[in-house]
Structure formats: structure tokens, C-alpha cells
Amino acid sequence: QVQLVESGGGLVQPGGSLRLSCGGSGFTSDYYAIGWFRQAPGKEREGVSCISSANGSTNYADSVKGRFTISRDNAKNTVYLQMNNLKPEDTAVYYCAAEIYTLQAKCDIDLVDYWGQGTQVTVSS
């Protein structure tokens, strides 16, 4: 089975930066997508950014485009999310997620097959 482990969350001031990491294991093919979703208290979980491990294609939510960058290191089975110019509205639990048997990175929550445990990101002065 696939397992995902997030790290890198923490407390940062508005305008600051954080880098999240998601380490994956248990993949049995080269065709899957890894991405980040987030959920604030009382809010629905939403897609942030996703990347295809096969071809590197990416998707970003409009709210983070230009501020966040997703990248991959296939040799380490790890995906990163560099978050710059963070805003209080970015405060949420960030979850790593995987969709198997795909060449795309649609970042659709309904297509997620596996979830990580989440890491807290708090943006506050």
C-alpha cells in the first residue's frame, strides 16, 4: 500500500516562506500524481498544487499561483511545496495526497486514492 508522510509545517509571519516535503512509498508503477491539499477549521478541503511523477506536469490553485511552487525528486520519492509570500488565509492543515495510475495532475479531491496525516501551517504575526 501507498504511504505518504508530510513534514515542514510550522509558524511563519505574513510574507514569510515555508517548504513542505512529502515522502512517498509503496508505489508499484511509474504513473501517479502527488499533490497538496489544505483544510482550514470549519472549511472544506481544497486542492493547492499537484504534480505528475511521470512527466512533471503541474496544476496550481488560483489562490496560490505565483506564490507556491511544486517540485519533485523522483529518486527520493519526494515532492516539495515551496510556499512564498505567505498570507494568513494560507493557514490550514496541509495534506499530501496521491492519485495512482495517472499521467495527469488534475488535483481533484475526488480522485485522491491516498492521504498523508497532514502538517499544520500557521501564518500569523
Q: What is the pLDDT of residues 26-83, one digit of tens each?
A: 988 888 999 999 999 999 999 999 999 888 999 999 999 999 999 999 888 899 999 9
User: Can you give the pLDDT at residue 75?
Assistant: 85
Instruction: Answer whether 2's CB lies under 8 Å from 114's CB.
Output: yes
User: Can you give the pLDDT at residue 22?
Assistant: 96
Q: What is the pLDDT of residues 90-120, one digit of tens each?
A: 999 999 999 998 888 889 999 999 999 999 9
